[in-house]
Structure 1
Amino acid sequence: MNKKSTNELDALLRDMNPKDLDNYYKENRDSMNTEKTFTYYVKDVIQEKNIRLKDVYSFAGLSESYGEQILNMRKHTKDRDVIIRLCVAGRLTLDEINRALKLYGMQPLYAKDKRDACMIVAINNRKYQLFEIDDMLVEQGLKKLSPDEKN
């Protein structure tokens, strides 16, 4: 997934046949500015891990319709925890989670932040069950990643 420079992309387009545009978009989407870059990236990573999206939404504690709207960017959330939960549920690595957060327009997990540091340790130790991460956070006196159950 190497980002190409604008000059490299210009060179590819110079002699391109219009019927080759779809392939160009697919092969170079990591290099292009698009609202859907987050969507494509996260879906591709999850697909590579052979996890069904409906399972990701469920594991993240989101309804299927809301999870789909967030992932497809039809709805935008300012709640960074929602994006982190989707990524954890999709078993993304720390680097993949940080890239997804950046593509969504959010700050990556930050080692100097106590809560983020705890999540980084959990993810680096392959703790992909939200309750495991929540337990670690609570033990440290920090806010859980999962939303509190509404009674």
Structure 2
Amino acid sequence: MDRKTTDELLKILENVSSERALEKYVEEHTEKPEGSLAAYLEKILAEKHLEKSSVIQASGLQRNYGYQIFSGTRGAGRDKLLALCIAMKMTAKEIQRALQLAGLNGLYARVRRDAVIIFAVNKGLSVLDTNELLDEMGERILE
């Protein structure tokens, strides 16, 4: 099956007239969420052989808050999650997935601040170096 553009999917959805047709549309054209943010972060930690404590320290988050995000008992704001993801050396694609699972806006290359963050991620910069770059570019740091 060819992957359709969002515009094509919207046209198809406009013509859905029954619940049965909606079920077919959902089955054929939508993505199923894969678990929780906490489970995803645990998976990435294991894949990259990282320790939560060192990631939290590198992220600059308060220790308790970082552990609460990892356990799923507390939600993360966009900047806090970005800091954790950068500290975990996630790829831009992995970060987009984490943001999606958290129900947060993804990184958008047309947004100046997001473009700087994407650049930093692609270059493997630390949270501290990312914040320095953001500041140099006149953008708000990750707080």
Which range, TM-score by smaller chain? 0.7 to 0.9
Q: Paired residue for 1:89?
A: 87
Query: How many Å apart are 1:32 and its aligned residue?
Result: 5.6
User: Taking structure 1 as the reference length, what is the TM-score of the superposition?
Assistant: 0.70
Which one of 99, 110, 113 corresponds to residue 112 of structure 1?
110
Shift of the 137–32 alpha-carbon distance from structure 1 to 2, 3 Å rule, reads closer
Quote the Cα distance in structure 1 between the aligned partners of 2:34 and 2:49: 27
Query: How many Å apart are 1:122 and its aligned residue?
Result: 0.8
Q: Deviations over 1:10-53 (max 9, x none)?
A: xxxxxxxxxxxxxxxxxxxx95664xx21111111121111101
RMSD across aligned positions (CA): 2.1
Shift of the 98–32 alpha-carbon distance from structure 1 to 2, 3 Å rule, reads closer
Q: Which ranges in structure 1 are unaligned for 5 or more consecutive residues?
A: 1-29
Write out aligned runs for 1:109-148 (5 A): 109-127=107-125, 129-145=126-142, 147=143
Q: Deviations over 1:83-119 (max 9, x none)?
A: 0001011111100000000001001111011000000
Contact 2:92–2:122, Cα closer than 8 Å, also in 1: yes
Q: Which ranges in structure 2 are unaligned for 5 or more consecutive residues?
A: 1-30
Which runs of structure 1 show a deviation greater than 4 angstroms over 4 or more consecutive aligned residues?
30-34
Work out the number of aligned pairs and report it: 115
Contact 1:46–1:92, Cα closer than 8 Å, also in 2: no
1:68 paired with 2:67, answer: yes
Contact 1:57–1:64, Cα closer than 8 Å, also in 2: yes
